Structure 1
Amino acid sequence: MDVLTQIRQSPMTRFQVMAVVIALTLILIDGFDVAVMAYAAPSLSRAWGLDPVTLGFLLSASLFGMAAGSIFLTPLADKIGRRKLALISLVIISIGMVLSVFAGDAMQLMAFRVITGLGVGGMMANLNVLVSEYSSDKRRGTIIGIYAAGYPIGATVGGLVAAPLIPVYGWHSVFIVGAALTVLMLAISWRFLPESLDYLLTRRPAGALPKVNGILAKIGRPALAILPALPAAVRQQSAVGEILSRPTRFRTLALWIGYACLVAAYYFANTWTPKIVAAASGNDSLGVTIGVIANAGGILGCFIFSALAIKYRSRPLLVWALGLAAVTYLLFGVVFSQVNVALVVALFLGILTTAGIAGFYAVAPDIYTARARATGIGWMIGLGRLVSIVAPILVGYLISGGWQPERIFFLFAIPLAASALCIVSLGISLKRTQPPALADTVLAPTTPAA
């Protein structure tokens, strides 16, 4: 397995960069496909006469699908490969987006959004793993930060597309654009997305050796005569066994709880802020604008995280991002009625929460070996989103019950603070004993940014 160590300790080749760029583009499309529902919500709510509770369920539908996809689809990447699962997920997303265009009522659209989310959920954690495995040790934290920017970039593009299209062509138009982009990326990925070397060398599917040598040739490495022997511990332990064994079990729980708390706050803001601001101001365009600003801040946050990860470790950066995000949510609640100030605070809200997501993506891969990495990260994202699904629905009930918007932002500062505490506890655990992923540097790359 020394070949993996050699590759990761060397500068990245054009082939590795291409794999990362394709994954970045795919996550961008995922962000677009998920976010268009929030931008279409004001127009759709009026057209169908939806009450806040029904709208909350509709906004959460894709999150439910994403949770199911992360839990049930992503682990397949450890069995059938990263590339194959990415293609399957793209097919599912394409079906969901096309069907959404023809939805005739809220229940139909809810079902089609679940299908879309299922594919997105299977895609996101899987691509996180693929990017981590094709990145060099030196640049992994930075590249993961850039990769994480793809989701808010896609969400921001969704807002930029929605603003001029919806008033003229209706809410269907943004779903048509999303479907077309997804089908296009399916074709591109079918042609150019590579399989992971980690998967081929660890799982060894039929024809693994020629596939490995084909990738090595593109990276500029000599061919292998035979596949290297696997360590006995790796051969005997299952993915689930690794995730739930000591001391990985505690770290797994810290990741699950921390990520769940973060995305609960993140998806509350992303799904409801445009609607809340539009209702408070009586201006749908202002709601879209503040949503775009928050997502633009998310893009900036990922790039700031990437820049800082060149010099600083990812875990401390993540703790700072989460703590400051909690403060920002409190501040947004205070200045909510002051539109000009709220727009500025929304920018920082986006910066900090999405930097937090980038931090989780950077920290999580090093906790597991290649044999369990997709399963571990997929379950982290999936189980976290099961909790986050409650957020938009809960907000719908809170608004119906008379809660003021600023109090809701105060409420969601609490899980952000809890998330920061989870990462602090994870760091303490890692200092006490060496994690399994670092015990086998051949199968699990280390990075000074994690």
Structure 2
Amino acid sequence: MTITTQRPVRGAEEVLAEVRQGRMSGFQIAAVSIALALIILDGFEVGIMAFAAPQIQEQLGLSPEILGYVLSGSLFGMAIGSIVLTPLADRMGRRPLTLAMLVLIVIGMALTITAPTAGMLILWRVVTGLGIGGMMANLNALVAEYSSDARRTTAIAIYAAGYPIGATIAGFLARPLMPEYGWRSMFIAGTVLAVMALVASWRFLPESLDYLLVRRPKNALERVNRILAKMHREPLAELPAPSATEQDDAEKQGTFREVLTPPALRLTLALWIGYGLLVASYYFANTWIPTILTTVSGDPQLGTTMGIGANLGGVLGCFIFAGLATRFSGRRLLFLTLFAAAGTYVLFGVIFNIVTVAIGVGFLLGMLTTAAIAGFYAVAPTVYSARSRATGIGWMIGLGRLVSVAAPIIVGYILATGIAPERVFIAFAVPLAIAGLAALSLLLGRGTATMAD
């Protein structure tokens, strides 16, 4: 008589550990690539406004203060979308929320084309921002969950490069389209791209394996096995029972409570402060540089060139960060990058009137600030567990964006008083230095996540 022993059912942590400790499959790389394509779209949709702003200001007769509100419309929507809508991904899934947010982006972009006044323009930019904000942090979680431990920081840094890539594409399209067809042509292009992204995502975007194993929605086992088959891994006979750790976490912590109680609380606050001050400085430069240089030089093409240069620097910065992350800790790279960015803002203010040098420093400025954003995107998923990862990342991005909303508006009022623009750049080095100190504190703790940094 032969006695057979049944193989014990693996826990969710074991299944996910097998995926994360192995090499990334073609399916995982494809999932990350889809998220990259979507973040490129986000960068394009937000970047449009920076390049369209000079023409919008002229045609609608807007003062610098009102233009500041127009530039901040999408940022405000992104903040609310990240805070209010992204947490839904931890309940309804990464894929359904992404599709819903793409629908919002299509609506906002299409209606922006018809906006006759600054008020309507602001409204539809807020709607567009809601979709972008709800989608960005959610996709960040998806990339983290489909990446291996060895390549996670690198994958997220490459993912973060999608945003400046999209903004750069917007700049290149603005050069031929806007002089010939006006600023609305840019939003027509954006609407078409958003519709294409919605159709492609409906067909190809996968659900998160972490979400399916931890939240267990309807037909979870069948969906998990389809994903495991595409990753060339052994299927499950049944959904794994929650491990003792997972049961403990479920009993002790809800989604929101995990983010806002020790041991994650201190790291949550460091993420909020650091990311908020960083993106305030980033969006001030990203939204105002084309307009400021156009006003100072009288040459609209110079402003567009500078905006493209800063975004190209951002792309390079993300790839450099991704390469360094294969050898060094993402947390250590983050705080060093932030202090370097603070110094670059001071340098830009000092040489602002030397146009040829300013373009080169602007490239460096974009490189460092965008690399730092990639750093926060890479570090945040390692602070939280799968149960609250989208919520934690969404709140970091959302609250950061609430801070950043004020930056273009405040700068609009400051410039309206006649203050020299270079002094504003020097002043923004201070929040970047504080962000560096917040990032330094992230080295002192690991939070509750099961994934490695």
User: Under TM normalisation by the shorter chain, which class is it?
Assistant: over 0.9
What is the match of residue 228 of structure 1?
240
1:76 counterpart letter in structure 2: L
Q: Does 1:366 align with 2:369?
A: no
Say whether 1:179 aligns with 2:185: no
Q: Provide, for residues 111-138 of structure 1, a one-character-per-residue CA deviation record: whole Å limited to 9, x for no partner.
A: 0000000000001000000000000111
1:352 and 2:352 correspond? no
Aligned position for 1:83:
95
| Paired amino acid for 1:390 | A
Mapped partners of 1:4, 1:66: distance in 2:
31
Once residues 412 and 229 of structure 1 are traced to their aligned partners in structure 2, the CA distance between those partners, rounded to angstroms, is 51
Distance 2:154 2:79 in 1: 26
Which residue of 204, 208, 233 corresponds with 1:192?
A: 204
Check if 1:254 corresponds to 2:254. Answer: no
Q: Secondary structure at the match of 1:58?
A: helix
Alpha-carbon distance in structure 2 between the residues aligned to 1:186 and 1:291? 28
Aligned residues: 437
2:107 paired residue number: 95
**Aligned residue identity for 1:345:** V
Runs of 4+ in 1 over 2 A off after TM superposition: none
The letter for the 1-side match of 2:50 is A
RMSD in angstroms over aligned alpha carbons?
A: 0.7
2:122 to 110, 114, 131: 110
Structure 1 residue aligned with 2:157, among 145, 150, 154?
145
C-alpha contact (below 8 Å) 2:274/2:434 kept by paired residues: yes
2:443 equivalent in structure 1: 427
**Partner of residue 231, structure 2:** 219
How many angstroms does 1:50 deviate by?
A: 0.6
Aligned to 2:325: 309
What are the equivalent positions in structure 2 for 1:6-21 lying under 5 Å apart?
Answer: 6-21=18-33
Using structure 2 for the length normalisation, give the TM-score.
0.96
Counterpart residue type for residue 145 of structure 1: A
- The SS at the match of 1:158 is helix
* CA deviations over 1:184-208 (Å, ceiling 9, x no partner): 0100000000000000000111111
- 1:283 is aligned to 299
Task: Confirm or deny that 1:65 pairs with 2:77.
Answer: yes
Percent same amino acid at aligned positions? 58
Whole-Å Cα distance in 2 between the matches of residues 233 and 396 of structure 1? 50
Residue 54, structure 1, aligned to residue 66, structure 2: yes
User: What SS does the corresponding residue of 1:4 show, helix, strand or coil?
Assistant: helix
**Which residue matches 1:42?**
54
For residues 218-252 of structure 1, what are the alpha-carbon distances to aligned partners after superposition, in whole Å with 9 as ceiling and x for unaligned? 11111111111223223222111111111211110
1:135 paired residue among 147, 170, 176:
147
Q: What's 2:5 paired with?
A: none
> What are the superposed Cα offsets for residues 65-100 of structure 1, whole Å, 9 maximum, x if unpaired?
000000011000000000010000000000000001
Deviation at 1:401, TM superposition (A): 1.4
CA drift of 1:279 comes to 0.3
Q: Which residue of 1 aligns with 2:8?
A: none
Q: 1:152 deviation in Å?
A: 0.1
Letter in 2 for 1:9: Q
Q: How far apart in 2 are the matches of 1:187 and 1:213?
A: 25
State the AA in 2 paired with 1:194: P
**1:445 and 2:451 aligned:** yes
SS at match of 2:349: helix
Mapping for residues 285-434 of structure 1, pairs under 5 Å: 285-428=301-444, 430=445
Equivalent residue for 1:155? 167
- 1:205 to 2:217 alignment: yes
List runs of 5+ in structure 2 lacking aligned partners: 1-11
Deviations 1:159-208 (A, max 9, x none): 00011100000000100001100100100000000000000000111111
Partner of 1:4: 16
Partner Cα distance (1:156, 1:426) in 2: 31
Which stretch has the larger CA shift, 221-230 or 364-373? 221-230
Larger Rg: 2
Equivalent pair of 2:267/2:447 in contact (CA under 8 Å): no
SS of 1:194's equivalent in the other structure is coil
Instruction: Output the CA distance in 1 between the equivalents of 2:316 and 2:335.
Output: 18
* Equivalent position of 1:440 in the other structure: none
Q: Deviations over 1:310-336 (max 9, x none)?
A: 111101111111000000000000111
Letter in 2 for 1:265: S
Tell me, in whole angstroms, the C-alpha distance in 1 between the residues paired with 2:142 and 2:149. Answer: 14
TM-score by length of 1: 0.96
Q: Counterpart of 1:255 in structure 2: which amino acid? A: L
Deviates more, 1:246-255 or 1:258-267: 246-255
How far apart, in 2, do the equivalents of 1:404 and 1:229 lie? Answer: 63
Q: Distance in 1 between matches of 2:277 and 2:166?
A: 23
Gaps of 5+ in 1: 438-443
**Secondary structure of the corresponding residue to residue 215 of structure 1:** helix
| TM superposition shift of 1:445 | 1.8
Q: CA deviation at 1:436?
A: 1.6
